[in-house]
Structure 1
Amino acid sequence: MKECLNKYKCHGLWAAVCVLMVHGAKLFTNNVGIDTEDLIHLGSPFYDGWLNTGRQGLVLLKYLTGSVEYNPYFAQMMTLVMLAVSVLAFVMLWDKVAGVTGSVNKWAAYGCMFLWISHPILVEQYYFTLQGVEIGIGMVLTAVALWLVWQGKAQKGSKKIYAFLLSGALLLLTFSVYQIFVVLFIYGAVTILLLDTLRKPDAKCKGILAVVKDVFPYAGVFLGAFICNSVVTSLFFSESDYLSSQVQWGQLSVRDCVYSIAVHVRDVLTGQNSIFYHVSFGALCAVGFIAVLCLIKRYGAALLFYYVALMTTPFLMTVVCADEPAVRSQLILPAITGYILYVDVLLMKCLGCDGAKKTAKKSSGIKWQTVLLAAVCILGGVSQMQISHRLYYTDACRYAEDEALGRALIQQLEPKIGEDETPIVVIGCHEFQGNNACLEGEIIGLSIFEHDVEEEPRYYWSTRRVVGFLHTLGYDCEQLPDKNIPYAEEFAEDMDVWPGKHSVEHAGDMVVIKLSEINE
């Protein structure tokens, strides 16, 4: 253990530096986003919603870590700590499997961590600070589960069984933390199998039977954990169609579904149509694919099989949903962006070894490939970091605007509600204005006052957001029952739009707030 810590102390320091450079703005802020406001307002009853969507592992981790009562600053700090630890855990795993050392490999690890940590998808995910720590813990546990399977393959008898059972137990937990951890394990298994293939350059040993033998332990542990989790969830927890409602198969034509999948693949590889995708990922994939083709003769078709399988992992959720998944759930993309650089460096070293044998020269003759990869890493990483910074800035501006509106509403509500606890309803929405430096993401850049407006029953769930947000500002009020909302809509037709003089009005036994005109 001491030797391992000494070996990776520089890696850990670099991971911490990257996290602070990219996500330092996350530390010790008062920014409150959606869901976080609900947790602060409701407390532990909020977790019933997670249980109903099959996220019992997330709730369990809350209890195990002693963070049932939400602590904003602690959650922000530990989210960043666990991000650094989780990235470092995967890099250590890959180093162990690859069995390579040296300065070139160290720089590959540094580049991998930079590309992974700087990815703007993480900003969207960590907008939901209430689950950031548990997401990080889940990633670390997934890395440990992968290591146990890899180690278990080399063991015999009871040690092998114990390793597989412990790995399955960890996966049973992580699969119920967040649905993407199912894909994360598949992705992690493919990364290990690819590195294992590079470690043993013997094409004769990499036929179909050898591939099946290598894949079987990972598939067995995965299926065991997946089936157990599905049974437990269906019997005791999941009562919501939250996940099934995201699946478009059967809702749209097969042609439209296939088209949506193809468009997402194209956008990710070319960096089109989204600030969350960058062309550097496609460039790294292309470089690696060419290198793999050059090495097939030496390493066998298994190398190509695993590389192609690796390329499919960011799109597994896309295929399941037949549509682009929510950005925050695409956690495989940051991970694979870093890993592709890591494995590309190893592939270039393998090509260099082949070249050295043919020309009797040292492998230093591949310096231009190293320079190319370094350039792609730096340009891609810096570009990702800039997007991440702008997203954090946007969220800070969004919160400042939401807070100002919230406090202005409180001033209007206090004399009208008094001590009678008259329930309120918010009609319409308020859109975040921002400035030229702001950058709208998927959730980031949306005001709390514009979420869930069209969710049925209309204005009920959006009002719940507002009531929860006002609670975070220190003001408590009651929400109007959904059965009375139609009357409130009718009453609001003759009201002024905020900040008009008659935009907050008594309507019998309720107070109506009109933020915008009603859309039919």
Structure 2
Amino acid sequence: MKHFIKENKGLAIYSFFIVFATYGIKLFNNTYAIDTMHLMTNYRGYLKHWVSIGRPGLVALKLLTYNYVNVYFLNLLAIIFFAIATILLCYYVDLSTKQIYNKKYLYIIPSIFPTSQLFSEQFYFVLQNFEFSLGICLVILSLIAIYHIPNKIFKLFGFLLLTFTLTMYQSFFVFACTLVLFKILMTLYFAQLNDLKISFKDYAFKIGHFILLAISSLVLSQLMAMLAKKVLNVESSYLDNMILWGKRPLIDSINDIKDYAKELFFPPVGDTFFTPLFLICVLLLVIVLINMSYLKRKNVFFIFITLLGILITPLMFTILGGKRPAIRGEVPNFPAVLALLLIFIMIYWGYNFVLKHLLVGIVILFTFIQVRETTNLEYSEYLTAEEDLRTAEMITNNIYSMEIENPESYKLLMYGNRSPRNVSNIKGETNGVSLFEFMPNSVHTSLNTLLYMKTFGLNFNDPTPEDFEKHKALQAEMNVWPSKDSIRVVDDCIVVNLSK
């Protein structure tokens, strides 16, 4: 690794630069996620929640910053380790090629991988970002130990480390599968370059080893998660709504898979998170395979099967769950798929002057698009957080201006919700969504907002569902905040009407 960095100083500098340029705004704002308030106000309880959804590894890493909720410092750590993860991915690719190639092709990885808009959805969860970035590093290091260090002790350590990472985020499993398949792909390709035919037995052994590694690490990680739940006496809640096969009409699940596949391959013009780059990669791969077949190269069928496996990984959660997955579940895998496929295509066509420069143009174009869109998403989230803070302050000021005696002794009820008004708002699944509209009903919106306000020292008592039922008729009579008569005091409750 030290030798790799020494030979590729420009690559390392570029990786840090593009990561800081894309996510640097996080170093200068106090954006709060939906989970931030829970960690600030109920740290132990929220860690148990993570255990209940199968993430004891994430809880274990939280011990590194236990009960520490300084979003500025944690964002700095997240960005640094995300840049390190990008460099590690370059190193893994370099190890997987096994042959001399143009090292400049590695610049594709920091250009395409960390700049993806999809990461903005994951990085919305401010107090998980450091662990997420560190987790990516650990996945790559585990596979380097398994596949590129001959020492058996290191291989065992790599396997255990990989197993541990799967108890952090389930998306790491798909990411690891993609990295292993890429190594197999490069082995097949360089055997082809050397006019060596890989037998079916040899290929089956490679795939069998991959499947055995995937299944054994996944099973062991689930056993570790179950043990953590047992020891901490926590009930499992992860699979409640994750797998919908058999819980709704079959045609609905099939349609979800079809629609999501269509979104990946043919994203609508102006789509927030997906670009035509995936489709471009597929078309270029088809041309590569046709060219290989025309030239009667060896191992073409095995290369096709391996590429198919890589292309299917972004659909894995959709197929397993029978529903459209959360966008953040696609990271870090989907951006890695794009970067790795472009690396393979570039290595294959690198000898062709025209095609090589066409690919360089494609990479530059989509790097610009991704950086632009991701920075816009991060700026949108920053302004939305600022707007939420101003809204909370204005509501509190309105209440105190009513000259209520000891207003903090009252329960605060908020009916309806309030969407962001700022002109730069871009809504994703979580990114750009106001804390005043995040929850499905008024009860949860109020409780969520009260938690948020308490982190700034704005304290009111929590309402009950019965309070909301008792006073819900007032909503029709009241104006919408911030208009006059949008806040009323009734008994021991302060009622705020956010929308009709």
Shared fold (TM-score greater than 0.5)? yes
CA-CA distance at 1:219 after TM superposition = 2.4
Q: 1:108 aligns with which of 105, 108, 113?
A: 105
Output one character per residue of 1:297-355: Cα deviation in whole Å (capped at 9) or x when no partner: 42312111111111111111111122321111111111111111111111224xxxxxx
> SS of the counterpart of 2:472?
helix
1:43·1:69 contact (CA, 8 Å) conserved in 2? no
**One-letter code of the match for 1:511?**
I
CA-CA distance at 1:465 after TM superposition = 1.4
Aligned in 2, Cα 1:101/1:77: closer, same or farther, shift over 3 Å?
farther
> SS of the counterpart of 1:511?
strand
2:478·2:486 contact (CA, 8 Å) conserved in 1? yes
Which residue of 2 is the match for residue 451 of structure 1?
438
Output one character per residue of 1:399-427: Cα deviation in whole Å (capped at 9) or x when no partner: 22211111011113445471763222221
| 1:367 lines up with 2:368 in the alignment | no
**One-letter code of the match for 1:26?**
K
2:384·2:425 contact (CA, 8 Å) conserved in 1? no
Which residue of 2 is the match for residue 249 of structure 1?
245
CA-CA distance at 1:167 after TM superposition = 2.2
Which residue of 2 is the match for residue 427 of structure 1?
415
- Measured in 1, the distance between the counterparts of 2:338 and 2:404 equals 54
> SS of the counterpart of 2:414?
strand
Structure-to-structure mapping, 1:269-418, within 5 angstroms:
269-272=265-268, 274-295=271-292, 297-300=296-299, 301-331=301-331, 332-349=333-350, 363=351, 366-414=352-400, 415-416=403-404, 418=406
Aligned in 2, Cα 1:298/1:259: closer, same or farther, shift over 3 Å?
same
Which residue of 2 is the match for residue 477 of structure 1?
460
CA-CA distance at 1:223 after TM superposition = 1.7
CA-CA distance at 1:208 after TM superposition = 2.7
> SS of the counterpart of 2:436?
helix
- Measured in 2, the distance between the counterparts of 1:511 and 1:417 equals 12
| 1:90 lines up with 2:89 in the alignment | yes
**One-letter code of the match for 1:118?**
T
1:142·1:185 contact (CA, 8 Å) conserved in 2? yes
CA-CA distance at 1:188 after TM superposition = 1.3
- Measured in 1, the distance between the counterparts of 2:405 and 2:128 equals 34
Aligned in 2, Cα 1:425/1:299: closer, same or farther, shift over 3 Å?
farther
> SS of the counterpart of 2:467?
helix
Which residue of 2 is the match for residue 355 of structure 1?
none
Which residue of 2 is the match for residue 460 of structure 1?
443
2:447·2:463 contact (CA, 8 Å) conserved in 1? no
**One-letter code of the match for 2:211?**
A
> SS of the counterpart of 2:28?
coil
Aligned in 2, Cα 1:244/1:374: closer, same or farther, shift over 3 Å?
farther
1:79·1:133 contact (CA, 8 Å) conserved in 2? yes
CA-CA distance at 1:175 after TM superposition = 1.0
| 1:166 lines up with 2:157 in the alignment | yes
| 1:192 lines up with 2:192 in the alignment | no
Which residue of 2 is the match for residue 231 of structure 1?
223
- Measured in 2, the distance between the counterparts of 1:197 and 1:390 equals 40
Q: 1:222 aligns with which of 211, 214, 217?
A: 214
Mean Cα deviation higher: 303-312 or 47-56: 47-56
CA-CA distance at 1:288 after TM superposition = 2.2
The runs of 5 or more residues in structure 2 that have no matched partner are none
Aligned in 2, Cα 1:146/1:271: closer, same or farther, shift over 3 Å?
same
User: How many residue pairs were aligned?
Assistant: 488
| Percent identity (aligned) | 20
- Measured in 1, the distance between the counterparts of 2:213 and 2:31 equals 40
- Measured in 1, the distance between the counterparts of 2:67 and 2:340 equals 34
Output one character per residue of 1:31-61: Cα deviation in whole Å (capped at 9) or x when no partner: 2232123222333432222122111111110
Which residue of 1 is the match for residue 45 of structure 2?
45
- Measured in 1, the distance between the counterparts of 2:66 and 2:8 equals 29
**One-letter code of the match for 2:477?**
D
> SS of the counterpart of 1:27?
helix
**One-letter code of the match for 1:68?**
N
1:293·1:304 contact (CA, 8 Å) conserved in 2? no
- Measured in 2, the distance between the counterparts of 1:438 and 1:463 equals 22
Q: 2:140 aligns with which of 129, 139, 143?
A: 143
- Measured in 2, the distance between the counterparts of 1:179 and 1:235 equals 17
CA-CA distance at 1:128 after TM superposition = 1.0
- Measured in 2, the distance between the counterparts of 1:281 and 1:148 equals 30
CA-CA distance at 1:242 after TM superposition = 4.1
Mean Cα deviation higher: 400-409 or 478-487: 478-487
**One-letter code of the match for 1:184?**
F
- Measured in 2, the distance between the counterparts of 1:408 and 1:391 equals 25
Q: 2:479 aligns with which of 458, 478, 496?
A: 496
> TM-score, normalised to structure 2's length?
0.91
- Measured in 1, the distance between the counterparts of 2:282 and 2:108 equals 15
> SS of the counterpart of 1:245?
coil
- Measured in 1, the distance between the counterparts of 2:298 and 2:114 equals 31
2:399·2:407 contact (CA, 8 Å) conserved in 1? no
CA-CA distance at 1:87 after TM superposition = 1.4
> SS of the counterpart of 2:245?
coil
1:292·1:347 contact (CA, 8 Å) conserved in 2? no
- Measured in 2, the distance between the counterparts of 1:419 and 1:259 equals 51
Mean Cα deviation higher: 298-307 or 44-53: 44-53
- Measured in 2, the distance between the counterparts of 1:344 and 1:118 equals 20
1:28·1:76 contact (CA, 8 Å) conserved in 2? no
Mean Cα deviation higher: 89-98 or 405-414: 405-414
CA-CA distance at 1:221 after TM superposition = 2.6
- Measured in 2, the distance between the counterparts of 1:68 and 1:134 equals 14
CA-CA distance at 1:133 after TM superposition = 0.8
1:119·1:334 contact (CA, 8 Å) conserved in 2? yes
2:28·2:72 contact (CA, 8 Å) conserved in 1? yes
- Measured in 2, the distance between the counterparts of 1:290 and 1:239 equals 51
- Measured in 2, the distance between the counterparts of 1:307 and 1:387 equals 28
**One-letter code of the match for 1:212?**
A
> TM-score, normalised to structure 1's length?
0.88
Output one character per residue of 1:420-473: Cα deviation in whole Å (capped at 9) or x when no partner: 6322222111111231x443222222111001133xxxx332122101221233
2:415·2:499 contact (CA, 8 Å) conserved in 1? yes
CA-CA distance at 1:101 after TM superposition = 3.8
**One-letter code of the match for 1:188?**
L
RMSD of the TM alignment (CA)? 2.2
- Measured in 2, the distance between the counterparts of 1:228 and 1:20 equals 36
CA-CA distance at 1:491 after TM superposition = 4.3
